Amino acid sequence: MSTSDSTPKERYNARLAAQIEAKWQDRWEIQRTFEAPNPAGPLAEPTKIAGRHKLFILDMFPYPSGAGLHVGHPLGYIGTDVFGRFKRMNGFNVLHALGYDSFGLPAEQHAITTGVHPRENTESNIANMRRQLRRLGLAHDARRSVSTTDEGFYRWTQWIFLQVFNSWFDADRGIARPISELIAEFSSGKRSTGTKSWNEMSSREQKQLVNDHRLAYLADAPVNWCPGLGTILANEEVTAEGRSDIGNYPVFKRNMRQWTMRITAYADRLLDDLDRLDWPESIKLMQRNWIGRSEGARVRFASRAGDIEVFTTRPDTLFGATFMVLSPEHPLVEALTTDTQRAAVDTYRSTASSITDADRQSDTRAKTGVFTGSMATNPVTGKEIPVWIADYVLMGYGTGAIMAVPSGDERDFAFARTYDLPIVATQMPPDSWFAGHGIASTADCTTWPEAFVGEGTYINSRNDNDASSPSSLVLDGITDMATAKRRTNEWLEARGVGQSAITYKLRDWLFSRQRYWGEPFPIVYDEDEMPVAVPDSLLPVTLPELSDFKPQALDPNDEVTDPIPPLARRADWVHTEMEIDDPITGVKRPMAKVRREINVMPQWAGSCWYELRYLDPTNAAAFIDPEVEKYWMGPRHEGHTGGVDLYVGGVEHAVLHLLYSRFWHKVLYDLGHVSSEEPFHRLYNQGYIQAYAYRDERGQTVPAAEVQEREGKYFFDGQQVSREYGKMGKSLKNIVTPDEMYDEFGADTFRLYEMSMGPLDQSRPWNTRDVVGMQRFLQRVWRNLVDEDTGQLTVSETQCPEHLLRALHIAIDGVQRDMDGMRFNTAIAKLIELNNALTKHVEATGSTPRVVAEALTQMLSPLCPHVASELWERLGRTDEITYARFPVADPSLLVSDTMEIPVQINGKVRSRLVAPTGSNDDQLKALALADEKVRIALAGAEPRKVIVVSGRLVNIVA
């Protein structure tokens, strides 16, 4: 925006905005305006808390990217800032801070290519992000801006890891307990140690037994090995295509010994407590699906190789189980395979192992499988059924084996048809099902085109003619699935061939990474090669310096070479001496040689608990003072989960971060370290800012900023280009940065524009061209209060005319409610309407009544705090607008003497009439029928019915 000589000196434009914004940002910093008092601990100021409600609002932890911010990033930050500022003006003690999730792969990859230490790179990125965000005027408490890479922070990440390591899950009570209590139960004999008694066990055996119960444990498990990144990944970090979420490298399944967290122990609580959270239903659903709880039964089928156990959600269809299918990797396959089938089975198994996950998941693939040659006994029918192997049965779910009920399961049906296996109906489908498929109703499945899945009367489901015999199971005639399932489970349990069971899709959480830039594990290995906690007094275990950050050079497709983590290169660091506490007795041992853990934690570790550290960032004695935690996060009432009052962030963290942090929080809760059961009580997903991108005829993206629009077509450099729509990003050449907005319009206009575009939870396209509307609005507000040429206030102390006062209070009422509901776009619309009404008054009288000037300024303050603060000061107010009470609407000014009532005939508006406020229904009816337009429209016809909605509308049915 150019500023020529003719522009009034005191016009509100980018130049003036920049001055005002810098002035107030400096002042807020000096006066420490946004520091929130704590009830206890190092930041305690108890007197400032008395009589105030608290509010803890939180933005999702950002990674300090080297690319800097674009205008999409701050959307949520502005939203929480506006909400927090509004709540401050309503008396709340608001805690709002922003820290940095600064460990992670990008800085390490950058270090590998440039040789710059990840710490240096990370710190300069954080400095740049802080600068960009400070310019936005966010009301953050700067004291609380922690980074996960700070030693003072990851000391406590390590401490929490040790809390998890030093606890076990007591399934009877459904909670985590200290590992010392498990050891006491083992040594006293209260809890069985298996075949060998505790005292007969060697020290190594005791440690192994205990380790197998820890919530953080080492396990040989199939892991996602990504040679391209030189590390393994959690299931959640692998895409559906079998590639890495970061970098899109191939991922291979293989067995490795890794740190694992027993999140599956918490599956039920993680699932059940979703009901107690104020989260979007879609996110709850995604978590429910990810946890994937299925209720059913485990059933054992006898075979010559021993019992084959299956998991099924439909034990009620057991009578229809006409064959079994094992995963090709199932351990019993070897023993079940007969000599005649050996060659076919071996061929199938080797083919199956060479097929990638991606191919195996292709939905167009036909069912394949091979008969093992062995039979198994269906426990309810006593019949011998063939045992097959097929790759549609996965080793990773249930028991890796299924009973196939082709009449009731699509996959089994397809398999049975392919290999001509018998299909027996156990439920009679309703007539409508047959009609829908155009076939006659029959229990003979040979004509069925597909399996029947649903409720139907049970048939062919009895194993004894005498239904009263205790040995019989009779389902025939039952019409509901729940009863049939219950009966079957009872029968299975009584006969000892099965029992009801629950399985989950959720797997334990793979917690180690073979990288450098992460938290080192506070773990060493003792003389038995058993993991032992580093004593608390030696925390933090800091990262040793390295001269070269490259992981071993691996081809992205090399799936055989083992990973060697970068920390292994520092042999002097790995092999050290330490006075550890005995993992069984807890007694301090003399100095002895130990070997350090060389893996590091995944990036999720820090983000699993950062919100707690915001609350007490400088506490050196504890990760958080219990009183501070209770104040900010404690449950609000009986049955309340506690947690952050408002958590705003993108939907992309629906399962990863939000599930992991809930898990850690619950462990901390069980161990008595926090009073809240959940970390985030209310979750709000902001939408994304998207942008148009343009490509020329070769398919190359061209700079979006230089594209011209003419008659609905788009041109770059004279050539027509095609338009597409997507995320803002470097590759699409459509980035707009906050810095450009600051230069062109100022931070307040930018904030206002982002909030006015639409509801916060919706994605929308960025349009730089539209920003000017909010600039004009602020300019008009400014001009209504300040003379553009002289800078003099144009505010009058005289009475405000009633119509303007009414407009003011209607605006106050609406804005108050919109802000409370985070509908900032409609709040802004109401403020514009008020200002438009004010503009008419100023045009007529030359000044703004003080009452309107002050209230308008206050209402603007959460949205555009700099210009509001400046106007507040110019209005002669010496108090801080940040804490000035938000205006309150006078109810008597919200109603006027008259009201306009629309009159409909058959639901279409034909007239409007003005009636005195408070007119009763009969009066409205009479007025409506007497109305000139109504009489013309009715043309003498007698209305059949007249509906009066009190005080709102009249509808005449003609």
In the window 264-293, what residues touch RNA (CB under 7 A)? 281-282, 285-286, 289-290, 292
Question: Of 343 and 909, which CB lies nearer to RNA in the complex structure?
Answer: 909
- Considering only 365, 495, 593, 730, the residue that binds RNA (CB under 7 A) is 365
- Considering only 367, 383, 486, 570, the residue that binds RNA (CB under 7 A) is 367
Question: Of 422 and 758, which CB lies nearer to RNA in the complex structure?
Answer: 758
945 binds RNA per the rule CB under 7 A: yes
Least distance between RNA and beta carbon 289 (Å): 5
Distances (CA, A) of 851 to 444, 796, 872, 875: 84, 9, 12, 11
Question: Of 328 and 566, which CB lies nearer to RNA in the complex structure?
Answer: 328
**Which stretch in 111-119, 420-428, 440-448, 900-908 sits in contact with RNA by CB under 7 A?**
900-908
Least distance between RNA and beta carbon 647 (Å): 18
Write out the binding residues for RNA, residues 408-437 only, by CB under 7 A.
409, 411
- Considering only 212, 770, 820, 890, the residue that binds RNA (CB under 7 A) is 770
- Considering only 207, 673, 823, 866, the residue that binds RNA (CB under 7 A) is 823
- Considering only 110, 298, 314, 662, the residue that binds RNA (CB under 7 A) is 314
The amino acid at residue 39 is P
DSSP letter for 397, please: S
Report the candidate in 120, 90, 88, 93 with the shortest Cα–Cα distance to residue 107.
Answer: 120
- Considering only 418, 561, 906, 920, the residue that binds RNA (CB under 7 A) is 906
What is the torsion angle, in degrees rounded to the nearest 10, for the CA atoms of residue 786, residue 790, residue 795 and residue 796? -160
Please state whether beta strands 54-59 and 93-97 pair in parallel, antiparallel, or not at all (unpaired).
parallel
Question: Of 633 and 815, which CB lies nearer to RNA in the complex structure?
Answer: 815
Question: Of 312 and 599, which CB lies nearer to RNA in the complex structure?
Answer: 312
Beta strand extents in 550-644 (DSSP E only) = 575-578, 592-596
- Contacts with 619 (C-beta within 8 Å, 6 or more apart), sequence order: 41, 42, 625, 628
Write out the binding residues for RNA, residues 837-896 only, by CB under 7 A.
839
63 binds RNA per the rule CB under 7 A: no
What is the spatial distance between Cα 429 and Cα 455, in angstroms, rounded to a whole number? 8
- Contacts with 582 (C-beta within 8 Å, 6 or more apart), sequence order: 588, 589
Size of the site for RNA (CB under 7 A): 87
**Which stretch in 306-314, 424-432, 605-613, 699-707 sits in contact with RNA by CB under 7 A?**
306-314
- Considering only 909, 914, 930, 941, the residue that binds RNA (CB under 7 A) is 909
Q: What is the DSSP string of 58-124?
A: EE------TT---TTTTHHHHHHHHHHHHHHTTT-EEEEE--B---SHHHHHHHHHH---HHHHHHH
Question: Of 594 and 656, which CB lies nearer to RNA in the complex structure?
Answer: 656
The amino acid at residue 941 is A
Least distance between RNA and beta carbon 387 (Å): 15
Question: Of 97 and 393, which CB lies nearer to RNA in the complex structure?
Answer: 393
- Considering only 121, 157, 158, 312, the residue that binds RNA (CB under 7 A) is 312
Angle, CA 255 vertex, CA 250 and CA 260 arms, to 5°: 95
What is the spatial distance between Cα 848 and Cα 461, in angstroms, rounded to a whole number? 85
Backbone angles phi, psi at 912, to 5 degrees: -130, 140
Distances (CA, A) of 569 to 111, 208, 313, 493, 915: 16, 28, 50, 56, 87
Least distance between RNA and beta carbon 255 (Å): 18
Distances (CA, A) of 513 to 256, 328, 882: 12, 29, 45
Least distance between RNA and beta carbon 747 (Å): 17
Question: Of 184 and 947, which CB lies nearer to RNA in the complex structure?
Answer: 947
| Residue for token pair 């639409």 | 758
**Which stretch in 94-102, 107-115, 150-158, 650-658 sits in contact with RNA by CB under 7 A?**
650-658
What is the spatial distance between Cα 452 and Cα 407, in angstroms, rounded to a whole number? 6
Question: Of 463 and 955, which CB lies nearer to RNA in the complex structure?
Answer: 955
Least distance between RNA and beta carbon 570 (Å): 37
Least distance between RNA and beta carbon 114 (Å): 32
Question: Of 7 and 500, which CB lies nearer to RNA in the complex structure?
Answer: 7
Backbone angles phi, psi at 305, to 5 degrees: -95, 10
Least distance between RNA and beta carbon 475 (Å): 17
Write out the binding residues for RNA, residues 493-532 only, by CB under 7 A.
503, 505
Question: Of 398 and 551, which CB lies nearer to RNA in the complex structure?
Answer: 398
951 binds RNA per the rule CB under 7 A: no
Least distance between RNA and beta carbon 850 (Å): 22
Least distance between RNA and beta carbon 791 (Å): 17
Question: Of 713 and 776, which CB lies nearer to RNA in the complex structure?
Answer: 776
- Half-sphere exposure (CA, 13 Å, Cβ side) for 945? 4
Write out the binding residues for RNA, residues 772-791 only, by CB under 7 A.
772-777, 779-780
Beta bridge partners of 680: 644
7 binds RNA per the rule CB under 7 A: yes
Write out the binding residues for RNA, residues 373-402 only, by CB under 7 A.
391-400, 402
Write out the binding residues for RNA, residues 21-60 only, by CB under 7 A.
none
Question: Of 105 and 324, which CB lies nearer to RNA in the complex structure?
Answer: 324
Least distance between RNA and beta carbon 867 (Å): 15
Structure-token pair, residue 740: 């450009």
What is the three-class DSSP state of 246? coil
Angle, CA 478 vertex, CA 472 and CA 483 arms, to 5°: 80
Write out the binding residues for RNA, residues 737-766 only, by CB under 7 A.
756-759, 762-765
Write out the binding residues for RNA, residues 317-346 only, by CB under 7 A.
327
**Which stretch in 151-159, 509-517, 608-616, 907-915 sits in contact with RNA by CB under 7 A?**
907-915
**Which stretch in 117-125, 713-721, 876-884, 901-909 sits in contact with RNA by CB under 7 A?**
901-909
SS (H, E, C) 659-710: HHHHHHHHHHHHCCCCCCCCCECEEEECCCEEEEEEECCCCCEECHHHCEEE
Write out the binding residues for RNA, residues 342-361 only, by CB under 7 A.
360-361
What is the three-class DSSP state of 558? coil
943 binds RNA per the rule CB under 7 A: no
Burial of 391 (0-12, 13-18, 19+ CB in 10 A): buried
What is the spatial distance between Cα 168 and Cα 163, in angstroms, rounded to a whole number? 10
CB 290 within 8 Å of CB 655 = yes
Structure-token pair, residue 329: 């990797």
What is the spatial distance between Cα 608 and Cα 601, in angstroms, rounded to a whole number? 12
- Considering only 332, 484, 785, 832, the residue that binds RNA (CB under 7 A) is 832
The amino acid at residue 680 is F
Write out the binding residues for RNA, residues 205-264 only, by CB under 7 A.
240
- Considering only 655, 805, 875, 938, the residue that binds RNA (CB under 7 A) is 655
Question: Of 478 and 948, which CB lies nearer to RNA in the complex structure?
Answer: 948
